[in-house]
Amino acid sequence: MTSIIKVDTIQTAAGGTPTASSLGISGTGKIGQVIQGTTSTSVSSSSTSYATTGFSQTITPSSTSSKIFIICNINATVFRSGNYIEGLYRLYRGGSALSAEMKIGGFAAVGNSSELRFWMSPSFNLLDSPSSTSELTYELYFRTGNGTSETNTFCDGRESTITLMEVLA
């Protein structure tokens, strides 16, 4: 048996216009806000320890149950006099590492006297569950894999982005 209810208007008990939440329809899984930051500022490092690129983006979640979906699009150049290069990137929130290392690099079988320069445009994403309604800062860090004989340059004059999306829960 099929039932059909037809009405011209639905009102709250007080006579007002109902909202989705007053009708029991939640906003779960919807995007609450989107914030994107861009930079073209080049920063170089020859350290094997993580250092900040100086590039960060902030967001303030509307609920402690919200998740933050982060998309990072990076432009980088890694240079080394040698046959293997490796640049590494990692996302931090509030000074703590959130993501696994993302490696960019390569190998050239032409001997150690060669000079390698890789221009890379890697992307990665992460879903964070911060359980907070305070302002959150997501920051990109980087390092080299081979030390002082290698230089990892974030941006290298090209644009990189961090996009933050609040996923309502």
**Residue matched to tokens 């004059």:** 157
What is d(CA 12, CA 18) in angstroms, rounded to the nearest whole number? 6
The residues that bridge with 88 in the sheet, in sequence order, are: 103, 143
Tokens of 10: 């639905």
Residue 90 CA to residue 93 CA, distance in Å, equals 10
Domain locations along the chain:
31-167
Using one digit for the tens of pLDDT, what is the confidence trace for 34-62? 999 999 999 999 999 999 999 999 999 99
Q: Which amino acid is at 155?
A: C
What is the number of other CB atoms lying within 10 angstroms of the CB of residue 161?
16
pLDDT of amino acid 67: 95
The proportion of the chain whose per-residue pLDDT surpasses 70, expressed as a percent, equals 88
Class of domain 31-167: mainly beta
Per-residue pLDDT tens digits for 65-117: 999 999 999 999 888 877 778 889 999 999 899 988 888 776 655 555 567 77
* CA–CA gap between residue 85 and residue 48 (Å, rounded): 12
Q: CB within 8 A of 23, min separation 6: which ones? A: 10
Q: State the pLDDT at residue 148.
A: 73
Q: How far apart are CA 112 and CA 108, in angstroms?
A: 9
pTM exceeding the 0.75 threshold for the entire prediction: yes
- Cβ-based neighbour number of residue 71 at 10 Å: 14
